[in-house]
Amino acid sequence: MSVTSLTSLDEFERAIALERPVVVCFCATWANLCRTIVPVFEKFSELPEFTRTVGFYSVDVDEAYDVVQKAGVGPVPTFIAFRGGSRLAEVVAPAPEVLRELIGGAGAAGPA
């Protein structure tokens, strides 16, 4: 699987409403921490242990401000796990192992 970019509020709402858990990366191209962690997020999206259980999405905070407001995102990078429209967990500026735990926890949550 790969990371799917969400560019509108409608796309975001459809993605987080899925019964399959999803993790959304909120980043900006200008943020150094984003440039460091986004490649890690992309690698995790390709791991078989996650591709079967978790959907991977990204939002550029400068291009989809309405999505950022709806999600209540402040600093970037922020990663939020959702399932069935509910927020499961959130981490801000995580180390790779913390991001892996967020994704794994979302996958373990399974369908609602």
- Domain span at residue 86 reads 4-109
Query: Are residues 77 and 31 in contact, defined by beta-carbon separation less than 8 angstroms?
Result: yes
Which residues 6+ apart lie within 8 Å of 9 measured at CB?
A: 64, 66, 67, 70
Number of domains in the chain: 1
State the pTM of this model: 0.94
Q: What is the CATH number of the domain that holds 86?
A: 3.40.30.10
Q: What is the per-residue pLDDT across 15-60, written as a single tens digit (0 to 9) for each?
A: 999 999 999 999 999 999 999 999 999 999 999 999 989 999 999 9
Alpha-carbon torsion, ordered 76, 80, 97, 39, to 10 deg: -60
